[in-house]
Amino acid sequence: MTSRTSRRVGPAALERRRAKITAEIAALGLPLPGSLVERRTRCGNTGCRCHADPPQLHGPYWTWTRKVDNKTVTRTLDTAQADALQPLLDNSRRLRELTTELETLALQQVKDDPTQPDP
Ligand SMILES: [Zn+2]
C-alpha cells in the first residue's frame, strides 16, 4: 500500500464536502469585488482635538478600492455607504475561500486517482 492510497479520503466523503461547499455558494449574496479601508487622520492644526492627549482623530473616512483593467479604482464613501457595501465585500471574500476549498478537493481527487500524476 502506498502513502498515496493511505491518505485517500474516499469519493463519498469528497462528494459530501463538495455538496456542502456548493450549497453555501448557492446561498451566498452577490460578491462585490474590492476592499474597504478605514482611515482616521490628524490635521495640520496643532490646537485641534486630533492633537490632544488622548487624540481624537478625524474620520472615519472610508475608501473602497478595486482593480478595473489592471488599474486600482478608489471611491470615497460615507459611513452609511461603507456599511451597505461591507456585506457584499464579505461575500466576495467568502466566495474566494470556498473556491479555494473546492480546488483543494479537486487536487485530492487527482491525488487519489492512480491513473493521474501525483499533483
Ligand atoms: Zn485636526
The C-alpha cell that represents 106 in the structure block: 479537486
Q: Residue 36 Cα, ligand 1 centroid: separation in angstroms?
A: 23
Q: Residue 65 Cα, ligand 1 centroid: separation in angstroms?
A: 25
Q: Residue 73 Cα, ligand 1 centroid: separation in angstroms?
A: 27
At residue 19 the predicted structure's pLDDT band, cuts being 50, 70 and 90, is very high
> 62: buried, middle or exposed (CB in 10 Å: 19+, 13-18, 0-12)?
buried
Q: Residue 74 Cα, ligand 1 centroid: separation in angstroms?
A: 24
- pLDDT of 10 reads 83
Cβ contact 82:62 at 8 Å: yes
Query: Beta strand 58-68 with 35-41: parallel, antiparallel or unpaired?
Result: antiparallel
Q: Residue 46 Cα, ligand 1 centroid: separation in angstroms?
A: 7
Question: What is the rounded CA–CA span in Å between residue 67 and residue 69?
Answer: 6
**44 in helix, strand or coil?**
coil
Does 1 have pLDDT greater than 90?
A: no
Does 8 have pLDDT greater than 70?
A: no
Does 7 have pLDDT greater than 70?
A: no
- What pTM was estimated for this model as a whole? 0.77
Q: Residue 84 Cα, ligand 1 centroid: separation in angstroms?
A: 27
